[in-house]
């Protein structure tokens, strides 16, 4: 799951890496980006500065068959997922479905 750089928080204490924040409004964190790429529309409440930020931010994303991906500097694509999908993936990782490729902590950080 891609973490929005505008919402990064620095904490003094360690946190559990498998904690996924729920969506307050019922929409995934990437909803505005996906709608902008799909139909070229902004949120009704968006200010001029927010519209400009959305245009710039959307350059780093790619929409394919209704699935949103984030481009990486190494020409890879990271699939954007919502909180429910992230919780499911984290549960599968901790259950050992993915195998012992790396430590659980490192794998969980990569997922998030």
Cα of first residue to Cα of last residue in the chain, in angstroms, is 5
Indicate the SS3 state at residue 70. strand
pLDDT band at 112 (very low <50, low <70, confident <90, very high): low
Q: Which residue bears the tokens 């996906």?
A: 34
Q: Tell me how far CA of residue 102 lies from CA of 48, 73, 93, 96, 98, in angstroms.
A: 44, 23, 11, 11, 10
Q: Which residue bears the tokens 């946190």?
A: 15
pLDDT > 60? residue 33: yes
Q: What is the pLDDT of residues 54-98, one digit of tens each?
A: 999 999 998 999 999 998 888 788 888 888 888 887 777 767 666
Contacts of 94 (CB under 8 A, 6+ apart): 18, 104, 108
Q: 0.75 cut: is pTM over it?
A: no
Which residues are registered as beta bridge partners of 62?
Answer: 69
pLDDT at position 81 is 87
Kindly tell me the number of DSSP H helices and DSSP E strands found in the chain: 4, 3
Indicate the SS3 state at residue 19. coil
Give Cα 92 distance to the centre of its chain: 18
Indicate the SS3 state at residue 42. coil
């Amino acid at each position: 799951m891609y973490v929005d750089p505008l919402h990064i928080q620095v904490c003094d204490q360690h946190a559990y890496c498998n904690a996924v924040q729920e969506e307050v409004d019922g929409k995934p964190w990437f909803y505005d980006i996906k709608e902008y790429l799909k139909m070229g529309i902004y949120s009704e409440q968006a200010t001029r500065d927010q519209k400009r930020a959305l245009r710039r931010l959307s350059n780093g994303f790619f929409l394919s068959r209704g699935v949103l991906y984030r481009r990486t500097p190494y020409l890879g694509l990271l699939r954007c997922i919502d909180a429910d999908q992230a919780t499911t993936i984290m549960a599968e990782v901790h259950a050992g479905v993915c195998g012992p490729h790396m430590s659980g902590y490192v794998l969980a950080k990569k997922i998030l």
